[in-house]
Structure 1
Amino acid sequence: MEKRWVAQEKADAQLVEKLSEDLKVNKTLAGMMVKRGLNTFDEAKAFFRPTLNHLHDPFLMKDMEQAILRIEKAIKDDENILVYGDYDVDGTTSVALTYSFFKKIHSKIDYYIPDRYKEGYGISTEGIDYAFENHYGLIIALDCGIKSVDKVAYANEKNIDFIICDHHLPGDIIPAAIAVLDPKRVDCEYPYKELSGCGLGYKLIQAYAIKNNIDGKEVEEYLDLVVVSIASDIVPITGENRILAYFGLEKLNNNPCNGLQALRELSGKTDDFTITDIVFSIGPRINAAGRIDDAKKAVKLLIANSSETAEDAGFIVNLKNAERREFDTNITEQALAMILNSPEMEHRKSTVVYNESWHKGVIGIVASRLTEKYYRPTIVLTQSNGIVAGSARSVIGYDLYEALTACSDLLEQYGGHKYAAGLTMKVENVEAFSQRFEEVVCASITDNLLTQEIIIEDEILLNDIDAKFFRILNQFSPFGPQNMSPIFLSKNVTSYGYGSVVGNNHLKMTIRQPNSSLFECIAFGFGNHLENINLGKPFDVCYTIEQNVWKDRKNIQLNIKGIKTY
């Protein structure tokens, strides 16, 4: 699929000039700083040298005081506490963090993860009944609950109190819980709105530690879980999330908990993990437990108090991930065939595919793969317990949640984010929903949103890339949503020698500009450009800059994202 190359707007020239002089860096790097809101030396210093002291006071969050008072009361009165969380990575890391912290303080605490297939997403009646039957007076719900008005009311009838820690968009009514921690509440003045569910769990234990004079090191112990949630839930790597991710990666790479260490080893990666590495190697393994089997096994792994226990739990989770991959591959192939065999579906501006036998646990992954292939809002539906369940993914710039809201009369439930959501409906509504969703998308999406963009940070010369440039560039990390690894453009380059195709249609080549150094390049999926590249004619490339490690050799490598021949 051809992608549009779009240049970012230039930063304010005067600010760039001043920052370049103050920091003794070239104007490309200074421009990157200004575009990220770093206009002064002090702002740049805070960005490049973050500290945990830069985190906001957790008591700025609405209802935090009530939440801490209720937990203190539960501990003082020797109540049973149940930590309740969603079955995905964000939910299981949230539960592992909160349970592990309070377990050191209060022995009468346990955790509960709803069954994806029997109970569905969020707080369930079955979960509340379990709490009632086992004499839990307080439930701390993480990464879910903000729309569970009826469930919280049901719990109140049974004299069970709720503390909700959720980062999803609230509905019109806030549940009648003891405390509802959600920065997206319109009445919450907390300065940062984009925390993950596990990030909210971190703020909860941070607040408890502050109130009860517990050393901050006891809280920082869980930063590796927080960064796994930040990466896997695809929240912005900005503000407070960037600080948490920065120190979370440090913890993950140097002293991870037993469970994450086991997952690191299973991944086979020996050097430091990045946000991307978490997304592709740690996150899927944790998710696989809830997708294929029981997410409690993921929590068991993450709270393991010995390397032996973690290795055993990790082995099981890894097996489930292999099973998940097989389901994923087969269902993706079936869905692609369904689209290819229907001219109408192939030419739509949205994708809605349905098969009652597809495994519910992997339809979100399949939706992502279809979106990558056709680049349009996509929903994959299957049947579970007599009702149709779906997973939806969007394209950059299109609000999927609003589109689902326009179809809400055909849905039983829906929820999620601008770019990812879940939904359920009656079987008889599938056809009408597919048609309505297409109509809504056609009426609200612009053609340019249906063509994937490559956002160009800046045009540079290859000779601009030296050791100092690369060192400073790396300090913009961790890279992720809203702080992506920058893509640069270099024009009029030529191939030095002959390129070659390796692996599955990947292009390897060495390029240069007149009077520049030579740069090794890898271009994944660009093997079809080999013939033109080897003609010796000039072409343009856009790329990210990375370090390639092979045995003991390290060198700067360009990861090509686009090629334009003349």
Structure 2
Amino acid sequence: MRWTLKPKPDPEKVHYLEKVLGVEKPIASLLVQRDITTFEEAKKFFRPSLKDLHDPFLMKDMQPAVERIEQAIEKGENIMVFGDYDVDGTTSVALVSSYLKTFYPAVATYIPDRYDEGYGVSYKGIDFAADNDISLIIALDCGIKAIEKVAYASERNIDFIICDHHRPGKEIPKAVAVLDPKREDCEYPYKELCGCGVGFKLVQALHSRRGETFETLLPYLDLVATAIGADIVPVTGENRVLAYHGLQVINAAPRAGFKAILEQVKKDQLTITDVVFIIAPRINAAGRMKHGLHAVNLLTEENEEVARRFAAEIETFNTERRAADQSITVEALEQIEELKEQERLTTVVYNENWHKGVIGIVASRLTETYYRPTLVFTRSGEKLAASARSVKGFDVYDALEGCSEYIEQFGGHKYAAGLTLLEAQYENFKRKFEEVVSSSIDKNLLIPEITIDAELQLSEITPKFYRVLKQFAPFGPGNMTPVFMSTGVKDSGYAKCVGETKKHLKCKLKQRSSEAGFDAIGFDLGEKCRHFEDGAKVRAAYCVEENHFNGNVTLQLRLKDIVPE
């Protein structure tokens, strides 16, 4: 691990916030690091307001999109809401379809089959629309590169409205409207919406045209918050407002589908992290193991008993997903060792029998293990399909663009992408990907980094400090959980390895013998227990969190790393 301590913020700005907000110096420093330097900015940060959401009509093509939907409703056309099979896609479809159905019945939903149709807009989906007299398709979380497919739909007298957030290619599809804040000609103020966020802006625009109050849209924000967490988009600006209020909906009045999931895992008061690790994998499991429509059905079901049945079914898919993910990860790690892949700057592995639904998860696990830009391939029909994951600071999407001569199609983000290629091009692609990454990556990025916000004395961690710190949530990219460092720390004498395989570290840390100390847990840090031998002092990097045990709530440190002093 390399530790990177953020530069100390401007002391004058810190002192000003201490004074106007009445907060301690460490809190004021954290705010200035996040570019919050005035009372008004701090108020917006701590109390995200729905009034700060942008006018949806600022988005390029929003006007024609709304007008085309209004025209379809007026003429009694059949509308199809089409979305990708992951969390962002299925929540988008659930949101837009359920909203439209509150006042217009002729709405169908369609999620492509991951194995039969692959990612994004599909010819099969367009044919389904044509066969069912559907003349308007609203595509969510996909479509920005579907040039030929939109043209094909047009030949069949089907119009497209595209709501996407992925990077456009050189050409924009010739749809009725293409909503994507990442379009170069789109002046929408916030560029980091997820697919469900773009879908929500479309709904917001339709809603305002119908003269309805914004409050009636609040129940849909739980879907938006789930997509924001699952798609790992920045939790800043408009996303922060949507995530904050969406979490309130999940905790205060969860929809039947969420309630049914949460009953199974016995969890209340969810954070965005809980959404990412509890709700999102289960929604994803439907598209990974069976079909994404199962997720849409769960998310739109209003009958609690039926929702429980759907949730139990999805729990089965999730158990299957977990087993497949674990066995494939073991096989992939063996392949890396056998091929001496760990000596390369990239990790590229392939097995034609690996389950296509879990290769993205496996790519993430391999990236955690070897900390390299990673691709996991499997067979998909006549071609090979891969999921790509990257390391912090390296744009894997750009790297794939550098290999485009060997790729059939690809799409995605800076840190996660998907692609297909012909089997004959696999070795050429693998060689080229290593070349592109080797020539462009800063070698420091291949060492996992802990970014530390500030150095703290353990005595500064008080209940008041934590109460304010909690209000920095929801956390995510652009507003990560603060990480602190303390020096001259030692264990009170009870450090030990815990867990079934003894790979976790449990200890009690203090800086002065007079202090009571803080309980600390370090997941996967068991082998570092030796650093505490003979009362040795260490430097500790950690987050502060609450530990709930037997009805008691105490502050504890979640260790990220420890190093000898």
Counterpart position of 1:383? 379
Aligned residues of 1:138 and 1:160 also touching (Cα < 8 A): yes
Tell me the CA shift for residue 494 of structure 1. Answer: 1.3
Counterpart position of 1:536? 535
- Which of residues 441, 464, 469 is equivalent to 1:468? 464
Distance 2:80 2:87 in 1: 19
Report the 3-state secondary structure (helix = DSSP H, G, I; strand = E; otherwise coil) of the residue aligned with 1:535.
Answer: helix
Distance 2:38 2:515 in 1: 33
Report the 3-state secondary structure (helix = DSSP H, G, I; strand = E; otherwise coil) of the residue aligned with 2:548.
Answer: strand
Counterpart position of 1:288? 285
Structure 2 unaligned blocks of 5 or more = none
Aligned residues of 1:498 and 1:534 also touching (Cα < 8 A): no
Distance 1:531 1:354 in 2: 38
- Which of residues 314, 317, 342 is equivalent to 2:314? 317
The aligned runs of 1:235-384 (5 Å cut-off) are 235-269=233-267, 271-343=268-340, 345-384=341-380
Tell me the CA shift for residue 552 of structure 1. Answer: 0.8
Report the TM-score, using the length of structure 2 for normalisation.
0.98
Counterpart position of 1:89? 87
Report the 3-state secondary structure (helix = DSSP H, G, I; strand = E; otherwise coil) of the residue aligned with 1:432.
Answer: helix
Check if 1:167 corresponds to 2:165.
yes
Tell me the CA shift for residue 253 of structure 1. Answer: 1.1
The aligned runs of 1:449-460 (5 Å cut-off) are 449-460=445-456
1:84-113 C-alpha deviation (Å, 9 max, x unpaired): 000000000000000010001101111000
Distance 1:20 1:215 in 2: 38
Distance 2:70 2:249 in 1: 29
- Which of residues 393, 417, 420 is equivalent to 1:424? 420
The aligned runs of 1:516-527 (5 Å cut-off) are 516-527=515-526
Tell me the CA shift for residue 525 of structure 1. Answer: 1.3
Distance 2:368 2:127 in 1: 41
Counterpart position of 1:115? 113
Letter in 2 for 1:546: E
Check if 1:487 corresponds to 2:483.
yes
Letter in 1 for 2:289: I
- Identical amino acids, percent of aligned pairs: 52
Counterpart position of 2:57? 59
Distance 1:563 1:280 in 2: 26
Tell me the CA shift for residue 532 of structure 1. Answer: 3.0
Counterpart position of 1:442? 438
Counterpart position of 1:512? 510
Aligned residues of 2:531 and 2:538 also touching (Cα < 8 A): no
Check if 1:199 corresponds to 2:201.
no
Distance 1:482 1:216 in 2: 27
Tell me the CA shift for residue 267 of structure 1. Answer: 2.5
Distance 2:534 2:138 in 1: 64
The aligned runs of 1:5-44 (5 Å cut-off) are 5-44=3-42
Distance 2:112 2:254 in 1: 27
Distance 1:132 1:229 in 2: 30
Letter in 2 for 1:530: C
- Which of residues 142, 154, 157 is equivalent to 2:155? 157
Tell me the CA shift for residue 37 of structure 1. Answer: 1.4
Report the 3-state secondary structure (helix = DSSP H, G, I; strand = E; otherwise coil) of the residue aligned with 1:195.
Answer: coil
Check if 1:562 corresponds to 2:557.
no
Aligned residues of 2:531 and 2:563 also touching (Cα < 8 A): no
My pick for the range that moved more, 361-370 or 272-281, is 272-281
Structure 1 unaligned blocks of 5 or more = none
Letter in 1 for 2:59: M
Distance 1:73 1:65 in 2: 12
Aligned residues of 1:499 and 1:534 also touching (Cα < 8 A): no
1:27-52 C-alpha deviation (Å, 9 max, x unpaired): 21111111111110111011101111
Distance 1:458 1:544 in 2: 11
Distance 1:284 1:50 in 2: 27
Counterpart position of 1:212? 210
Tell me the CA shift for residue 502 of structure 1. Answer: 1.1
Letter in 2 for 1:538: K
Distance 1:436 1:265 in 2: 48
Report the 3-state secondary structure (helix = DSSP H, G, I; strand = E; otherwise coil) of the residue aligned with 1:542.
Answer: strand
1:285-325 C-alpha deviation (Å, 9 max, x unpaired): 11111111111111000000111111111111110111111
Distance 1:316 1:217 in 2: 33
Report the 3-state secondary structure (helix = DSSP H, G, I; strand = E; otherwise coil) of the residue aligned with 2:411.
Answer: strand
Distance 1:460 1:40 in 2: 24
Aligned residues of 2:81 and 2:139 also touching (Cα < 8 A): yes
Distance 1:85 1:332 in 2: 28
Aligned residues of 2:541 and 2:559 also touching (Cα < 8 A): yes
Distance 2:150 2:524 in 1: 50
Aligned residues of 2:283 and 2:314 also touching (Cα < 8 A): yes
Aligned residues of 1:267 and 1:282 also touching (Cα < 8 A): no
Tell me the CA shift for residue 242 of structure 1. Answer: 0.5
Report the 3-state secondary structure (helix = DSSP H, G, I; strand = E; otherwise coil) of the residue aligned with 1:396.
Answer: coil
Letter in 1 for 2:322: R
1:392-420 C-alpha deviation (Å, 9 max, x unpaired): 00001101011101110101001100100
Distance 2:548 2:409 in 1: 48
Distance 1:6 1:496 in 2: 27
Distance 2:550 2:58 in 1: 49
Report the 3-state secondary structure (helix = DSSP H, G, I; strand = E; otherwise coil) of the residue aligned with 1:176.
Answer: coil
Counterpart position of 1:179? 177
Aligned residues of 1:463 and 1:517 also touching (Cα < 8 A): no
Tell me the CA shift for residue 534 of structure 1. Answer: 4.1
Counterpart position of 1:128? 126
Aligned residues of 2:163 and 2:195 also touching (Cα < 8 A): yes
The aligned runs of 1:388-427 (5 Å cut-off) are 388-427=384-423
Tell me the CA shift for residue 280 of structure 1. Answer: 1.3
Distance 1:498 1:438 in 2: 46
Report the TM-score, using the length of structure 1 for normalisation.
0.98
Aligned residues of 1:506 and 1:524 also touching (Cα < 8 A): yes
Distance 1:460 1:517 in 2: 16
1:365-385 C-alpha deviation (Å, 9 max, x unpaired): 000000000001000001011
Tell me the CA shift for residue 268 of structure 1. Answer: 3.0
Tell me the CA shift for residue 531 of structure 1. Answer: 3.1
1:36-75 C-alpha deviation (Å, 9 max, x unpaired): 1111011101110111111111111111111111111111
Tell me the CA shift for residue 468 of structure 1. Answer: 1.1
Stretches of 4+ aligned residues off by more than 6 angstroms: none
RMSD of aligned C-alpha atoms? 1.0
Aligned residues of 1:140 and 1:165 also touching (Cα < 8 A): yes
Counterpart position of 1:75? 73
1:14-37 C-alpha deviation (Å, 9 max, x unpaired): 111111111111221111111111
